[in-house]
Every structure is written in structure tokens, then in C-alpha cells.
Amino acid sequence: MGYWKGNLFIISKPFNNWIRKTKLLENSLSKLSELLFEYLKKSLSTSEVPNHENFFKMIPEILSNCDKLNFQDQHEVNAYTYYHFLERYRKILNILAQLMENNLLPLRSNGIEVIDIGAGPSPTFFALNDFYKALKRFSKKNKFKGKIRIVSKIIKQLPKPKYHVIEKSSLFVNLTKNISQKYGLSNFELIKDDISNLNIENLRWDYDDETLNKYRSEYIEKENIESIFEIPKGKIEVKFRYNISIISNFLTNPSVLTIFEKELLSTIKSIRFGGVVIMIGGADDNYENLFRIFENKFLSIFKDKSFVREDNSVFKKEESIVEIQKINFSDQPSQIMREFYQKVWNFIEEDSGKDLSKYRNEKFPHLWDKNSIPTKTNSYRVRIYRKMPIKQ
């Protein structure tokens, strides 16, 4: 599949222009904001004022003490989803566009597999589906020549990404299933509710054994014994071999890297050649230190900022992706998000029947005033590691 590289770069500019022209981001944000509002409205609608107060009190908590919350409380889940979902959906779309522009976007004719550790309400799930769906639509609506025509032909037939989640909060999982069903998506699979003792290789073995036994039993029932040891190519689906691994919400402090060392290493080993590990965190020094520890702990230093793995592969840090990225708070997507914030805020105040203005934290005026643009630059950190075979 070597012709993906280079040809994607050619497509990226007209594709990104097409996205802007068709207002993919704006339309998707609008639709998702409506679905999220209806979900939160139903969840928050109550005559008990303390429930509304708990929601407001939780907003500063999910920003300053997120790693101390277990998200088994509905107010924690609601506040987190309210503040972070649309913003992180937008970040992932932006990162995917950059991967494509720099010839790093994973593509596979059989469809890509994605694993998201600590997915929360899974904004990545929605962003990935929307991006690859848009790429497919773009290829169908345009005619290409030369090598790029081959790429376009394969893109047109791409299946939806297979999205695997590890998320301990059943409330987050239920929220994702609720929203995804109404959004028209079903390719969401919870493979484990806790990262503890995660072993991707064992999951793959168990799946392979189960699939092979099922396949062979069908032949036995048909009395076609000679064929039970001859598995035709393409009959057995390969699973738990990932093209994209998302490590973001899960990674909040250095202790996580020690506690779940084996589990994270198992995830890294499951990446296919050409696949990427996407790490997202804050722009502060804390996350820079976390990312550095991650590199030193899990990826043996090779040369030229690359890291050798035992399966004759190398994880290369992609310098073409800008590490510290900023969000433009004055564009239309941001306006859609601020309208969503205010709409939810207004509903809660009206539903409570009380004056809840005391909860209007001066640090977040854009939550209750859609015309208030945050003055503090919202920056975040992105690192991309790509798995490649070592050149002999």
C-alpha cells in the first residue's frame, strides 16, 4: 500500500477546501450540540435545586481535579461532557486533517481499527467517523487521474473505522451509545471496562480461537471435514491490530505510567505498521514532562528521535506536526460551541426557578454569554508517533 504516501498529500488541499466549502465542521458541531443538549436536558431536568447546583459546582472540578474524579456520578459526567465534548471533537478533526496533509493518515482497504483508552464520552469516535466519511464522500464526488485515481477508488469503498474503547465509567459508555445511535453510528465497541490487566495479544488469541472454532464447526455440520484446516484468505477477520491509538484523557499524571506499564506496552505493541499513536494533553510543563516520561519508559531511544521496538519496527516522532496548537475562539465553530454552552446554562437556570448567578465563575464567561470570547489562549499539546519497519 506504498502509494498512499504522497498521493494523500495531493488530495489534502482540495479535500480541506471542500470541507470548508461544505461546512462539515460547522454542520457536525450543530447536530452534535443539539443531541447533547437534549441528552443533558433530560438528565438535568429536575425540580430539586441541589442537583442544578451540583452541576455548576462540578465545572471547576473537571478542569482542576479531573484525575481525582471516577465519573460514577451523573453530575461529573454531565459537566465533563458539557465542557469538553465539542471542543475535543474539533481538536481531533483538526489533528486528522494535519495527519492527512503530512501523509500520515492511516488508511486501509479493509478499514482501520482504533483503540481509545479512557475515552470518556468518546468525542474521538464521532470525529473519526465524520472525517473518514467525509473523505469517502469527497472521493465519490471528484474524478482523479493517475496514481491518485487508484487511491480514490479504494477510499470510495472504505468501511467505517472499527472503534474499540476502554472506559471504566458505565455512565460515559451509556452516554456515547445514546448519542451515537441518534447520530446514526453503531461501530462502537467496549472491549474492556478497565485498563487493569489489559493484554491485547490475549484478546486477539481469544478472538482468533473463537472465530476459527465457529468457522470449522460450520464445515463439520456440512460434513466437509477436509476443509476445516484450510481457511480461505479473507474468511477470518483480523482483530485487535490497530491503526490508531488515542492516549489523551487517560494520561494525567506520571503514576499512571508506572501503574499500567504492562497494559500500555501491550497497546503500543498492537499498532500496525504505518499506524500512529496520538497523544493529546495540556500545553503546560506538566504534560511535556508526562510525554517525555512516556517516551523514555515505553519507547527505547534509537536515533533521530525515533524509538525501536522488539518486532523489528521503529516508532518515529513526527516533527511535521506542530506540538503546541491553538484554538481560534472567534471563528464560527467556536460560536456554535458558545451558543451550546449558553443554551444549556439558560435551561438549567430556568428549570431551577432560582437565581443561580452566584455560580457564574468569572473565569468562564463564555459559558453563559455566547458573545463573550475567552481572552486566554486555549493551547494544547499534540505528539504523533508512527510505527515503521526498520530499514535493513
Secondary structure of residue 7 in the 3-state scheme: helix
In terms of pLDDT, which residue wins out, 299 or 108? 108
**Cβ atoms of 80 and 71 closer than 8 Å:** yes
Confirm whether 357 is domain-assigned: yes
Confirm whether 364 is domain-assigned: yes
pLDDT band at 224; cut points 50, 70, 90 = very low
How many other CB atoms sit within 10 Å of the CB of residue 110?
Answer: 12
pLDDT band at 67; cut points 50, 70, 90 = confident
Of residues 310, 280, 288, 282, the one with CA closest to residue 385: 280
What is the total count of domains within the chain?
1
Return the pLDDT at 228. 42
Confirm whether 222 is domain-assigned: no
In percent, the amount of the chain with pLDDT more than 90 equals 33
Confirm whether 205 is domain-assigned: no
Q: Indicate the DSSP class of residue 253.
A: S
Confirm whether 152 is domain-assigned: yes
In angstroms, the CA 276 to CA 315 distance is 9
Model confidence at 323: pLDDT above 50? yes
Model confidence at 70: pLDDT above 80? yes
In angstroms, the CA 180 to CA 187 distance is 9
Confirm whether 212 is domain-assigned: no
In angstroms, the CA 139 to CA 366 distance is 38
Confirm whether 199 is domain-assigned: no
Average pLDDT of 127-151? 83
Model confidence at 227: pLDDT above 50? no
And the C-alpha cell for 142?
471528484
Domain encompassing residue 293: 4-194+241-389
In angstroms, the CA 121 to CA 39 distance is 12
Which CATH number is 277's domain given? 3.40.50.150
In terms of pLDDT, which residue wins out, 70 or 315? 70
pLDDT band at 250; cut points 50, 70, 90 = confident
Return the pLDDT at 342. 92
Confirm whether 124 is domain-assigned: yes
Return the pLDDT at 391. 65
In percent, the amount of the chain with pLDDT more than 70 equals 83
In angstroms, the CA 389 to CA 112 distance is 19
In terms of pLDDT, which residue wins out, 89 or 206? 89
Model confidence at 165: pLDDT above 80? yes
